Amino acid sequence: MFTVRSIFTSFVLLVALRNDLACQSIDEASDNLTFGVTLSLGAGVGGLSYGAGASLPLSDRLLSAHYILADEIKITPGGSGYSGRELQDIGMLYGILKSSSSSFWSISLGVSYVEFHNWNPANSERRVTVGVPIEGQIFARLSHNFSVGMIAYGNINSYKLYGGALLTIRLG
């Protein structure tokens, strides 16, 4: 079975093989990157993660917003019940952007609103906090307005640290 680490390593190697920085300077390629939206699916600490985002390149910087939802559901043996955890992260990030005509990557951090939900049939608990999201993105451009890639994310907050990786498509 593939691990997140092996998938990420394979993707980085693929992008490295397609990289054509010799044909176009980084500054020219960054100017060609436009506003984009992302949709993601992946794995986080303890379960599935889903994501959506928007980003705006500003020369060699990236301003972005993201929404991440991570779920973990546990079924009680014998089918007598269930419990689970959910977190929602809504963040604004700012970071470094590097780009070529065939790929781009960024590293960003910012501030986020984070909600944690622990639930089971007997009771539920909800906690809200502010966090510092950290995000790395790497994409291969398949056409001018379509890219595929991976986003690795994490969040430092007062309740619980978490992170994950998302396979992502980007339009724009």
CA quadruple 30, 168, 72, 152: dihedral, nearest 10: -30
Q: Which domains does the chain have, with CATH numbers?
A: 4-171 (2.40.160.20)
Q: Indicate the pTM of the whole model.
A: 0.76
The predicted-structure confidence for 27-51, as pLDDT tens digits, reads as follows: 444 457 789 999 999 987 778 899 9
Greater confidence, 72 or 120? 72
Q: What percent of the chain has pLDDT over 90?
A: 53
Would the pLDDT of 6 be above 80?
no
Whether 146 contacts 104, CB under 8 Å = no
